[in-house]
């Protein structure tokens, strides 16, 4: 067998097994053989992993790039470049319907055109539905599936995005029969709206009050409601960006009952607390996201536990980049010198730091390397129908992340200028790292070489991934009573 590339001397980590002493043989961008002492030919490139972990290229299944409602921040080009520099080789980002869009076909075409030929890593597209008309749900969603868009995101909050429970139920009828994965942003809108109004009346509008306005109970209630809607309809859902202990417990309880309920958490809910929202000079705005950062170290620990015990299926960045100091950026929440948290665009940048931060959890003994691979590579690929991603095995794409061997990387403290995103800050500024991806390989090509050249790919390396149905999330054919959802 001829190989274009052989990676030797690594510890190959998959979601189930970790094996040393095996070479990875790559041909035409695909892993074609894993075995001992693979034979090189004169034209084979050899990469020596020097005893380091090799994990599958990261799959970041929750990324926002160039959304029309986010005026500043990363493009598909800069965001995907940032991804590969942090060990991620696939992102799934959103095409977002506006309420007035009567068809989603042009919406998807518009986002596809922005991405096409510009990406540094492979990419898929999810659809955010904000106005699920009968025609869209019945006639257009099947066309989405044909185009490889096999997932939708639904919001229970935010005025421009929020759906009523009835609308969610109607969508669930369609996504169930089409085999689409249904993502839900679960926060109780009315609770939040009332709190924001009263905080404003009381003059409590600093960034910190963003967290006060979205208490854990708002997330927990909406999470349980979303689970109930899913149970009624026998439609699998993934609760996105789960931040709170009680919400995670609702998900775990549903899973124990064998309901098709999945959960996702994000790096900031493992590392950052709401005290970050305080701070001089409006700095707290940098950490405004929804759900908000939580209060106590126990909240962080609960999220780590839920990663380790399998409650969380996926671990995503929710890279929702707004610059701090730019028109329409975080600073938009400073109105004539007065802080107005309601006007701060929500979301944190993090597509590049996601894998290193989770890997730090492996080094700290919070999770295993198998957990790392499961939630950040393998499960997101399975959940969203990426059949060639997330596993190091013959037949899968040769997307690899090669780390530093233990003790071989000089530890450093992160500053924003080390990152490759087009954002003027990182919420993880000052975080110490003991490891970072040394090489990232996309379908057999090295696109990140930290010691020699940094980003060495070109725009357009990444291709659109037409996704299949989820191989993880499926209806169970279990119903609450004799009633059946329409087919
Ligand atoms: O604060 C966040 N997460 N903003 C991004 C949009 C979303 O809801 O995921
Ligand atoms: Zn409202
Ligand atoms: Zn969301
Ligand atoms: Zn998001």
Smallest CA-to-CA distance from 193 within 221, 236, 159 is with 159
pLDDT value of position 279? 83
Report whether residue 73 contacts ligand 1, using a CB cutoff of 6 Å: no
Nearest alpha carbon to residue 356 among 303, 411, 393, 311? 411
- Does residue 320 line the site of ligand 1, with CB under 6 A? yes
From residue 290, how far is each of 139, 412, 485 by CA, in Å?
A: 32, 29, 32
ipTM, interface predicted TM-score of the complex: 0.93
Strand partners, 123: 91, 464
Tens-digit pLDDT profile for residues 249-285: 999 999 999 999 999 999 999 999 999 999 889 999 9
Share of the chain above pLDDT 70, in %: 100
Q: Which two tokens stand for residue 418?
A: 């080390």
Q: Determine the 3-state secondary structure of 153 from DSSP.
A: strand
* End-to-end C-alpha distance for the chain, whole angstroms: 49
pLDDT at 487: 84
Q: Whose CA is nearest to atom 5 of ligand 1?
A: 347
Rg, C-alpha atoms of the chain: 22
Residues 88/400, Cβ–Cβ less than 8 Å? no
Over residues 69-89, the pLDDT tens digits come to: 887 889 999 999 999 999 999
Quote the distance between the C-alpha of residue 306 and its chain's center. 16
List C-alpha distances in Å: 304 to 63, 216, 475: 21, 17, 28
Distances 93 to 33, 149, 210 between C-alpha atoms, Å:
31, 11, 25
Residue ID of nearest Cα to ligand 1 atom 9: 318
Q: Which residues make Cβ contacts (< 8 Å) with residue 90, sequence separation at least 6?
A: 57, 58, 59, 60, 121, 122, 123, 124, 381, 386, 389, 390, 399, 465
| Best mutation site among 214, 320, 333, 344 for ligand 1 pocket (most ligand atoms within 8 Å of CB) | 320
Would you state the structure tokens that stand for residue 33, as one six-digit string? 């053989």
Instruction: For residue 124, give the DSSP letter.
Output: E
In which band, very low, low, confident or very high, does the pLDDT at 1 lie, cut at 50, 70 and 90?
confident
Q: Classify 241 as helix, strand or coil.
A: coil
Pocket mutation for ligand 1, best pick of 290, 314, 330, 342 (most atoms within 8 Å of C-beta): 290
* C-beta 462 within 6 A of ligand 1: no
What percent of the chain is predicted at pLDDT more than 90?
98
> Residue 362: CA atoms inside 13 Å, Cβ hemisphere, count?
22
- Helix-helix angle 216-233:189-201, to 10 degrees: 160
Q: Kindly give, in sequence order, each residue whose CB lies less than 8 Å from that of residue 82, ignoring residues fewer than 6 positions away.
A: 74, 319, 351, 352, 419, 420, 421, 422
The β-bridge partners of 25 are 6, 33
Distance from the alpha carbon of residue 346 to the mean position of ligand 3, in angstroms? 9
Residue 157 has pLDDT above 80, yes or no: yes
Q: State how far the Cα of 292 lies from the Cα of 157, in Å rounded to an integer.
A: 13
Work out the number of other CB atoms within 10 angstroms of the CB of residue 327: 9
pLDDT digits (tens, 9 = 90+) for 102-123: 999 999 999 999 999 999 999 9
Atom of ligand 1 nearest to the CA of 288: 1
- When pLDDT is averaged across residues 15-23 and rounded to a whole number, the result is 97
Compute the average pLDDT of residues 301-315.
98
Q: Is the CB of 241 under 6 A from ligand 1?
A: yes
* Long-range pairs of 461-464 with CB within 8 A, sequence gap ≥ 24: 461/119, 461/120, 461/121, 462/80, 462/119, 462/120, 462/121, 462/122, 462/123, 463/119, 463/122, 463/123, 464/112, 464/115, 464/116, 464/122, 464/123, 464/124, 464/125, 464/148
The three-point CA angle 227-230-232 to 5° equals 110
What average pLDDT does the segment 197-218 reach?
98
Q: Is the CB of 289 under 6 A from ligand 1?
A: yes
Residue 71's pLDDT is 77
Ligand 1 pocket test: which of 154, 184, 294, 318 has the largest number of ligand atoms within 8 Å of its C-beta?
318
Q: Which ligand is nearest to the CA of 188?
A: 2
Residue of 92, 121, 127, 89 whose CA lies nearest to 106: 127
Is the CB of 318 within 6 Å of ligand 1? yes
Which residues 6+ apart lie within 8 Å of 311 measured at CB?
248, 251, 252, 255, 263
The contacts of residue 458 (CB under 8 Å, 6+ apart) are 120
Predicted pLDDT at 68: 87
* Cβ neighbours for 341, distance < 8 A, ≥ 6 positions apart: 205, 206, 207, 208, 209, 210, 213, 285, 288, 333
Strand partners, 34: 24
> What phi, psi does 373 have (nearest 5°)?
-65, -40
DSSP, residue by residue, 53-87: EEEEPEEEEEE--S-TT--SS--HHHHHHHHHHTT
pLDDT of residue 161: 96
| Cα 292 to averaged position of ligand 1 atoms, centre (Å) | 10
Q: Average model confidence (pLDDT) for the chain?
A: 97
Q: Looking at the CA of 162, which ligand is closest?
A: 2
Question: Among the atoms of ligand 1, which is closest to the Cα of residue 320?
Answer: 5
| pLDDT computed for residue 69 by the predictor | 81
Ligand 1, pocket-test mutation among 60, 64, 92, 322, most atoms within 8 A of CB: 64
User: Could you tell me if 439 and 448 are in contact, meaning their C-beta atoms sit under 8 angstroms apart?
Assistant: yes
Q: What's the number of CA atoms in the CB half-sphere (13 Å) around residue 69?
A: 20
Q: Are strands 58-63 and 432-433 parallel, antiparallel or unpaired?
A: unpaired
Contacts of 71 (CB under 8 A, 6+ apart): 322, 327, 328, 329
Confirm whether pTM is higher than 0.95.
yes
For ligand 1, is residue 221 a contact (CB within 6 Å)?
no
Least confident of 65-79, 168-182, 314-328, 414-428: 65-79
The stretch 235-239 carries a mean pLDDT of 98
């Amino acid at each position: 067998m001829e190989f274009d590339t052989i990676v030797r001397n690594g510890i190959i980590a998959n979601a189930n097994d970790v094996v040393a002493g095996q070479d990875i043989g790559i041909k035409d961008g695909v892993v074609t053989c894993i075995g001992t002492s693979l034979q090189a030919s004169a034209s084979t490139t050899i990469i020596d992993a020097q005893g380091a972990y090799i994990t599958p290229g990261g799959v970041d299944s929750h990324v926002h790039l160039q959304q029309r409602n986010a005026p500043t921040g990363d493009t598909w080009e800069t965001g995907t470049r940032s991804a590969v520099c942090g060990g991620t080789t696939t992102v799934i980002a959103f095409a977002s319907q506006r309420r007035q869009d009567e068809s989603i076909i042009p919406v998807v075409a518009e986002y596809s055109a922005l991405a096409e030929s510009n990406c540094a890593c492979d990419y898929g597209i999810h659809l955010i539905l904000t106005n699920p008309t009968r025609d869209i749900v019945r006639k257009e969603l099947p066309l989405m599936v044909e185009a490889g868009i096999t997932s939708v995101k639904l919001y229970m909050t935010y005025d421009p995005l929020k759906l009523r429970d009835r609308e969610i139920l109607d969508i669930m009828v369609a996504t169930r029969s089409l085999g689409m994965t249904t993502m839900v942003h679960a926060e109780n809108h009315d609770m939040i709206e009332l709190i924001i109004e009263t905080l404003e009346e009381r003059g409590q509008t600093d960034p910190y009050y963003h967290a006060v306005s979205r208490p854990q109970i708002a997330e927990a209630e909406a999470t349980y409601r979303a689970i109930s809607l899913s149970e009624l309809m026998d439609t699998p859902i993934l609760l996105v960006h789960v931040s709170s202990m009680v919400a995670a417990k609702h998900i775990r309880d549903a899973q124990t009952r064998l309901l098709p309920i999945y959960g996702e958490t994000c790096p900031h809910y493992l590392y950052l607390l709401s005290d970050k929202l305080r701070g001089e000079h409006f700095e707290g705005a940098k950490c405004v996201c929804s759900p908000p950062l939580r209060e106590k170290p126990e909240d962080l620990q609960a999220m780590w536990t839920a990663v380790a015990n399998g409650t969380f299926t996926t671990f995503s960045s929710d890279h929702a980049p707004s610059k701090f100091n730019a028109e329409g950026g975080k600073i938009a929440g400073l109105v004539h010198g007065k802080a107005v948290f309601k006007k701060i665009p929500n979301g944190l940048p993090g597509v590049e730091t996601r894998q290193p931060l989770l890997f730090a959890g492996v080094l700290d003994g919070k999770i295993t390397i198998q957990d790392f691979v499961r939630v950040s590579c393998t499960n997101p690929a399975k959940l969203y129908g990426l059949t060639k991603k997330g596993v190091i095995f013959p037949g899968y794409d040769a997307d690899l992340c090669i780390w530093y061997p233990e003790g071989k990387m000089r530890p450093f403290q992160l500053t924003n200028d080390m990152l490759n995103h087009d954002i003027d800050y990182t919420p993880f500024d000052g975080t110490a790292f003991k490891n970072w991806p040394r090489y990232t390989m996309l379908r057999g090509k090295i696109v990140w070489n930290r010691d020699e050249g940094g980003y060495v790919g070109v725009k357009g390396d990444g291709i659109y991934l037409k996704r299949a149905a989820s191989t993880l999330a499926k209806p169970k054919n279990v119903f609450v009573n004799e009633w059946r959802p329409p087919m």
